[in-house]
Structure formats: structure tokens, C-alpha cells
Amino acid sequence: MTTPAARPSTPSVAEAERETVTGGVASNLSVAEVQAAGQGIINNVEKVIDGKHAAVFTALTVLLAEGHLLIEDVPGVGKTMLAKALARSVDCTVSRIQFTPDLLPSDVTGVSVYNQADRRFEFKPGPVFANIVIGDEINRASPKTQSALLECMEERQVTVDGSTYPLGLPFTVVATQNPIEMEGTYALPEAQRDRFMARISMGYPDTDSELAMLDSRDTASPLTLIHAVVSGEELRAMMQSARGVFASGAVKEYAVSVVRATRDDRDLRLGASPRATLQLIRAAKAQAALYGREYVLPDDIDSLAVAVLGHRLVPTSRALGHHHQDSGPLIEEVIRRILSATAVPLGTPERP
């Protein structure tokens, strides 16, 4: 797939985004149509990802919510395979960046090259100029290169040599990383982790799924079975419909209460940011649309809380010491405790 050429930003980035989102889309899809299209994508991805329905569903939820996904787990459990299968299921531009210690920021964003014939500098866009960007082993790159993605992920634009170039929509970064305690890795700073809407882990497959994998991958790569089932235009329409899902005031108050509780918890020295609240609601709307609902339920908040909030929280050294330096179970335990202690809003949060 080709990478679209970049152009300097004449209108504001917000205007450029609106043009990209609405261009070519006649109207929003109904939530029933979003559910049907989403199930088609999930079925397509599950041709090569066996026994990981929750991970596939969350990945699609993040894509529809216009967020970025961090897949973290040990090597060989299918992190990159999930990212590639999701990207191939949608007819959009896709690029892949293999992060290594010698990768430079310009290798990600692009570089200005002097054209001797025209006697001027021309911008050569990097792989970040795609609808879906797969960042493989992001924590193997230096912090300087990792930070090259910060502006791209938050503002959906790239600034090089004083010129700003907007990124097209949809724009999603699906990054993979191995656990930070392994050799040759650089932990993502809190500022960059906060830009990922959700973090998921694949986990080891069960026995039946691993046996099925041996048969399906005996002669060829399973990715050859994956073809686009949704066009880029349809994906943008699905995103618009997800944005339009109704979240009542009570549900929003519940989300705010959960996030604020992380800032006051005795076992955490860094709670979730206001960006986390916004992304939690966006993800809940996308999940509701994938379930065929026009409104968000408190259950949507509960089911997404660990994935959306977990990677943003930093435990205290005292609490971490009781968990043998493994923060994952501690963070999940804290979030579950907060959800149990936070009052669920009463009433049916349907659109009036």
C-alpha cells in the first residue's frame, strides 16, 4: 500500500480533520450497521488470531474511538500478528516501523531534502503518514525517537523545519512492546504512555488454540487469508456513528468519579489524567456501538477501565514491594477496588 504525500497545512489542523472525516461519507451508519461491520472485522482477524476474542474486540474498539493502542507482552504471542491482521482488514494506507536503537526521529516523521533542480527543500514524508501505523517493539528505540510520535499521536500533525503537515484520518498507532525489564529496551515515559488510549496483553494461547496454530501455519503465513472487509470510507462512517453514541450526564459523572479516585488512592503515586477521562468515554461509546447500542452503560466503563487506565497509573514503592515488583496485578487490583467502591448511577442512560 502506498503512503500518501504530505502537504503543508494552510487551514487549521482541526479544519483539515473535519474535511477528511466528512469527505465522501454521505451519512452516519446506524449502530446496527456498525455492529455488523465490526463483527465482520473481528471474524476476519480471528482467522489468524485464535482464542483471543477480548484482545481483538478491544483493538477494534480503540480503532473506532480514534485512539492509539499499545500491545504489551512477551515475544512470540502474536502482538505484531494482531496489529497486521487488524490493519489488513480495513482498506486504508498502512505502514510498519521496526523500532531499533539506531532509528532516528526523521526515520519516523520524514525529512526535508534539498532538490538541486528546483533549488529548494522538499519534504519527504516518513512512514507515520499512513492511516494505520504499526510500531513494532517501540520500546527498543531511544527516547528521542519515541518522542517523535508525541505530536503525531496527540495533534495528528507533524512539524518539520518549521512547516506543519496534517495527518489524514483515520490515524491510529498500534504499537507493540516487550516487558521493559528485558534487555535492550527503553521504558516509555509517562507522557507517551498517556497518549495511548488503551493497553492490552495477548497472553499465551490455550492448548486447543496452539494446536490449531500448528496446523494453520504449517505451509503458509495465515496473513494471506486476510483481505479488507471494510473500506476507508466505511471506517470513517463507523467512527462518526461511534462519536454520536449518547453518554448521559450520570454515566459521565461515574467515569469522572472513577478517574478522580485513582488520584487519591493510597497505593498510587500517579493517578489518571483528564485525558484518560476523555478517552474512557470515547472508548465506551465505541464499545456501545459495537454492541449495537445507541447509549453508554456503566458496564462499558467497568469493562474498559483496566485497559484504558492501567498503563497510566504508577504505584507507590510501598505497595509495589508487597507485590514482588510486578505492578500489573497491583494496578488491576486497585482499579477493581475503585470500581467496587464507586457508586454506579441509577436509571437507564438511554437517549431521551
pLDDT at 150: 84
Q: Which domains can be identified in the chain, with CATH numbers?
A: 25-243 (3.40.50.300), 245-343 (1.10.8.80)
* 275-285 residue pLDDT tens: 999 999 999 99
Percent of the chain with pLDDT over 90: 56
Average pLDDT over residues 239-266: 95
Q: What confidence tier does 347 reach under pLDDT thresholds 50, 70, 90?
A: low
**C-alpha span between 274 and 177 (Å, rounded):** 25
* 119-162 residue pLDDT tens: 888 889 999 999 999 999 998 888 888 888 888 998 899 988 88
Average pLDDT over residues 233-246: 95
The answer, as to whether pTM is greater than 0.75, is yes
* 202-224 residue pLDDT tens: 888 888 888 888 877 766 677 88
* 156-186 residue pLDDT tens: 999 888 888 999 888 999 999 887 666 667 8
Give the 3-state DSSP-derived string for the chain, with helices as H, strands as E and coil as C: CCCCCCCCCCCCHHHHHHHHHHCCCCCCCCHHHHHHHHHHHHHHHCCCCCCCHHHHHHHHHHHHCCCCEEEECCCCCCHHHHHHHHHHCEECCEEEEECCCCCCHHHHHEEEEEECCCCEEEEEECCCCCCEEEEECHHHCCHHHHCHHHHHHHHCEEEECCEEEECCCCCEEEEEECCCCCCCCCCCCHHHHCCCCEEECCCCCCHHHHHHHHHHCCCCCHHHHCCCCEEHHHHHHHHHHHHCCECCHHHHHHHHHHHHHHHHCCCEEECCCHHHHHHHHHHHHHHHHHCCCCECCHHHHHHHHHHHHHHHCEECHHHHHCCCCCHHHHHHHHHHHHHHHCCCCCCCCCCC
